[in-house]
Structure 1
Amino acid sequence: MAELATQHPAALLTPVPTPWGPAGAVVMCLLPILFLILVTMVKRIMLPSRVGLPAAAALMAVVRLAYLSAPPLEVLPAALDGCLEALIPLSVVFGAIALFKTMEYTKCMPWMMLHVKSLSAGNPVAEVFLIGWAFACTIEGIGGFGAPVALGAPMLVSLGHEPLPSVVVLVILNSLCSHLGSVGMVVWFSFNDMGLGDANILLIGAKATVMVGVGAFVCAPMAASFLVPWREIFRNWLFICLSLLSAIVPTFVVATYSQDFPVVVGGAVSSASVPVDELVEVPPLTLKDTLLRSMPIWLTVIILLITRVPQMKVKGLVTSTSPSFTVNFGTLGKFSMSSSLVLQLSAILTSPDASFTYQLLYVPCILPFIAAAVITLLVHRRDLDTPKLWTAPFKEAYARMAGTVAAMMGALALAEMIRTGGAGSPAFIVGYYFSAWLGKGYVAVAGLLGALSSFVGGSVMAGNLTFGDIQKDRVAGLLGALSSFVGGSVMAGNLTFGDIQKVAAVRIGVPVTSMLALQDATCCAGKMICIANILACKAVMNLSHVGEGELIKRTALPALVLIVVSTAMSCLFLFAAPGQQLVWPDHPLPAA
Structure 2
Amino acid sequence: MLNLVISVVPILLLIWMMTKKNALPSHIALPVTAAIIGALQLFYFGSDLTNLSANIIAGMLSAITPISIIAGAILLNRTIALSGAEDVIRQWLETISRNQVAQLMIIGWAFAFMIEGASGFGTPAAIAAPILVGLGFNPLKVAMLALVMNSVPVSFGAVGTPTWFGFGNLGLTDGDLLTTGRNSAFMHAIAAFVIPVLALRFVVSWQQIRRNMLFIQLSILACTIPYILFAQWNYEFPSLIGGAIGMAVSILLARFKVGLEEPETTADHAVSHIPFGQVVKAMSPTLMLIAILIVTRIQQLGIKGMLNDATPLFNLNLGFLGDLSVSQALIIKLSNILGTETAWAYKTLYVPALIPFFLVVLISIPVFKLPKTTVKRVFSETANRIKMPFVALVGALIMVKFMMMGGENSPIMTTGRAFSDLMGTNWQFFASYLGALGAFFSGSATVSNLTFGGIQQTIAHTVGLPETTILALQSVGGSMGNMVCINNIIAVSTILGIANKEGYIIKRTVVPMVLYGAIVAVVSLFI
Pairwise TM-score range, normalised by the shorter structure: 0.7 to 0.9
Find 1:448's aligned residue among 433, 440, 443. 433
2:363 to 356, 375, 379: 375
Q: For residues 449 and 544 of structure 1, do their structure 2 counterparts lie closer, same or farther at Cα, with a shift above 3 Å needed?
A: same
Structure 1 CA distance for aligned equivalents of residues 505 and 314 of structure 2: 45
Residue 47 (structure 1) aligns with: 24
* From 516, 520, 527, the counterpart of 1:566: 520
Does 1:218 pair with 2:191? no
Q: Distance in 1 between matches of 2:212 and 2:183?
A: 29
Residues 217/343 of structure 1: CA separation in 2 closer, same or farther (3 Å cut):
same
Q: Match for 1:359 among 347, 354, 358?
A: 347
Structure 2 match to 1:294? 283
Q: Give the aligned residue type for 1:72.
A: L
Q: Distance in 1 between matches of 2:235 and 2:68?
A: 27
Secondary structure of the 1:179 match is: helix
Instruction: Report deviation, 1:154.
Output: 4.8
Map 1:60-459 onto structure 2 (within 5 A): 60-121=37-98, 123-142=99-118, 148-149=124-125, 151-159=127-135, 166=142, 168-181=144-157, 190=167, 198=175, 204-228=180-204, 232-256=208-232, 261-274=237-250, 275=253, 276-278=255-257, 286-353=275-342, 355-381=343-369, 384=370, 387-459=372-444
| Structure 1 Cα separation of the partners of residues 460 and 244 of structure 2 | 33
Structure 1 Cα separation of the partners of residues 349 and 161 of structure 2? 17
- Is the CA contact 2:78–2:378 (under 8 Å) kept in the aligned structure 1? yes
Q: Percent identity?
A: 32
* Contact 1:33–1:456 under 8 Å retained in 2: no
- 1:111 Cα shift? 1.0
Secondary structure at the residue paired with 1:344? strand
* Deviates most, 250-259 or 280-289: 280-289
Matched to 2:32, the amino acid is: A
Give the whole-Å Cα distance in 2 for the aligned partners of 1:62 and 1:177.
38
CA contact (8 A) 2:189 2:224 kept: yes
What do the CA deviations read for 1:15-53 (whole angstroms, capped 9, x no partner)? xxxxxxx2x32222121222122222121x322333222
Give the secondary-structure state (helix, strand or coil) at the position aligned to 1:243: helix
Question: In 2, Cα distance between the equivalents of 1:363 and 1:379?
Answer: 25
Out of 5, 9, 12, which is 1:34 matched to?
12
Indicate the SS of the match to 1:404: helix
8 Å Cα contact 1:125-1:236 kept in structure 2: yes
Are 2:458 and 1:503 equivalent residues in the alignment?
Answer: no
Residue by residue, what CA displacement relative to the aligned partner does 1:133-170 show, whole Å, maximum 9, x if unpaired?
22233344455566545544454455455667655544
Change (3 A) 1:539 1:503: same
| 1:180-214 deviation digits (Å, cap 9, x = unpaired) | 4566676678599978885x766544433332222
In the TM superposition, residue 393 of structure 1 has moved relative to its aligned partner by: 0.9
Aligned residues: 513
- Local SS of the residue matching 1:217: coil
Judged with a 3 Å threshold, the aligned counterparts in structure 2 of structure 1 residues 62 and 379 are, in CA distance, closer, same or farther, namely same
Q: Secondary structure at the match of 1:368?
A: helix
| TM, length-normalised to structure 1 | 0.75
Q: Is the 8 A contact 1:306 1:314 kept in 2?
A: yes
**CA–CA distance in structure 1, aligned partners of residues 234 and 6 of structure 2:** 43
Higher deviation after alignment, 562-571 or 157-166: 157-166
Which amino acid is the alignment partner of residue 566 of structure 1?
Answer: V
Contact 1:48 / 1:547 at 8 angstroms: preserved in 2?
A: no
3-state DSSP class of the match of 2:355? coil
Residue 268 to residue 49, structure 1, CA distance change in 2 (3 Å): closer
Separation of aligned partners in 2, 1:92 and 1:262: 18
**Does structure 1 retain, via aligned residues, the 8 Å contact 2:114–2:243?**
yes
Q: What is the rounded CA distance, in whole Å, between the counterparts of 2:12 and 2:190 in structure 1?
A: 31
Query: How many Å apart are 1:114 and its aligned residue?
Result: 0.8
Q: Which consecutive unaligned segments of at least 5 residues does structure 2 have?
A: 264-269
Q: In angstroms, what is the RMSD of aligned CA positions?
A: 3.7
Q: Is the 8 A contact 1:336 1:344 kept in 2?
A: yes
* Shift in Å, 1:307: 2.0
- Residue 379 of structure 1: CA displacement? 1.8
Post-superposition shift, 1:563? Answer: 1.8
CA 1:77/1:164 → structure 2, altered by over 3 Å: closer, same or farther? farther
CA distance in structure 2 between the aligned counterparts of 1:423 and 1:119, rounded to whole angstroms: 58
Distance in 2 (alpha carbons) for counterparts of 1:221 and 1:116 = 21
The 1:446/1:38 distance shift into structure 2, 3 A limit, reads: same
Confirm or deny: 8 A CA contact 1:458 1:531 kept in the other structure.
yes
Query: 8 Å contact 1:163–1:541 — kept in the other structure?
Result: no
Contact kept, 8 Å, 2:18 with 2:441, in 1: the verdict is no
1:522 has 2:522 as partner? no
| Distance change >3 Å, CA 400–CA 219, structure 1 → 2 | same
Is contact 2:457–2:467 with CA below 8 Å preserved after alignment? no
User: In 2, are the aligned partners of 1:50 and 1:406 still within 8 Å (CA)?
Assistant: yes
Structure 2 contact 329–349 (Cα < 8 Å) conserved: yes
Q: What secondary structure, in the 3-state scheme, does the structure 2 residue paired with 1:175 have?
A: coil
Shift of 1:341: 2.7
Displacement, 1:378? 0.6
For structure 1, the residue ranges without an aligned partner over 5 or more in a row are 1-21, 464-483, 488-492, 574-592
Q: Is the 8 A contact 2:456 2:470 kept in 1?
A: no
**Larger relative CO (CA 8 A, sep 6+): 1 or 2?**
2
Relative distance call for 1:160 and 1:93 in structure 2 (3 A) is farther
Counterpart code for 1:84: L
8 A contact 2:197–2:209 mirrored in 1: yes
Any idea what SS the aligned residue of 2:329 has?
coil
**Deviation digits for residues 362-398 of structure 1, max 9, x if unmatched?**
22222222222222221221xx4x5432322112211
Cα pair 2:144 2:202 within 8 Å, conserved? yes
Q: Given the superposition, is the C-alpha separation of residues 201 and 77 from structure 1 closer, same or farther in structure 2, using an over 3 Å criterion?
A: closer
SS in 2 for 1:391: helix
1:456 CA displacement: 4.7
Q: Give 2:346's aligned amino acid.
A: Y
Describe the shift of the 1:207–1:380 C-alpha distance in structure 2 as closer, same or farther (beyond 3 A).
closer
The alpha carbon displacement at 1:435 in A equals: 1.0
Matching residue's letter, 1:288: G
**Match of 2:267?**
none
Distance 1:86 1:551, change over 3 A: farther
Q: CA deviation at 1:298?
A: 0.8
Output the CA distance in 2 between the equivalents of 1:192 and 1:428. 14
